[in-house]
Amino acid sequence: MRTVLLASDHAGFEMKKTLLAHLESRGFDVVDHGTHSTESCDYPVLAHKLCEAVKHTGCTGILICGTGIGVSITANRHAEIRAALCFTELHARLARRHNNANVLCLGARMTGTELAGAIVDAFLETRFEGGRHQRRLDMIQQRT
C-alpha cells in the first residue's frame, strides 16, 4: 500500500477531509498532518511539518491552503522538496513527469473538490520520465 501525507490550513480543511476519504477509497494509507478544524492556523507550520515528513519517509505529500500559493512557497524552501501548485490534471501530470514533484499544492478557494480529486489522481498516477528532465533537476539542486 502506498502512503500519502496530507496537510492543510483552516481554509483547506474541508477539502482535506474530502481528499482523505477519496485517497482511502482508492487504497492509499493517508497520514493526516493537520489541521484538524476550521479554526484559524498558520499554514507555514503545517507545510514545514509535512515537508519534513516527506523528506524522512520518501512519501508523496499534498498541501492545501486557500490559494495554494502560501503552502507552495513554504514547501519549496526545503532543498529536497519539489512542490507544484496545480490547477488542472495536465499541470499535475507534467509536474510529476518533467519535474519529479513530490508535493502537490492545491488552493481550496480556487479549485472545486471534484477537480481536486482528479488532480490528485493524475499526480499520484504519473511517473517521472527522467532523461533530460533529470539533468534540469540536477541544475536546480546545485542552487540550493
Active-site residue numbers? 65, 98
Of 119, 49, 125, 129, nearest to 84 (Cα)? Answer: 119
What is the Cα 5 distance to its own chain's centre? 8
- Give the length of the chain: 144
What span, in angstroms and rounded, lies between the C-alpha atoms of 47 and 50? 5
C-alpha cell at 6: 496530507
The helix (run of H) or strand (run of E) holding residue 63 is strand 60-65
DSSP designation for 23: H
What span, in angstroms and rounded, lies between the C-alpha atoms of 135 and 45? 32
Of 115, 50, 121, 112, nearest to 81 (Cα)? Answer: 50
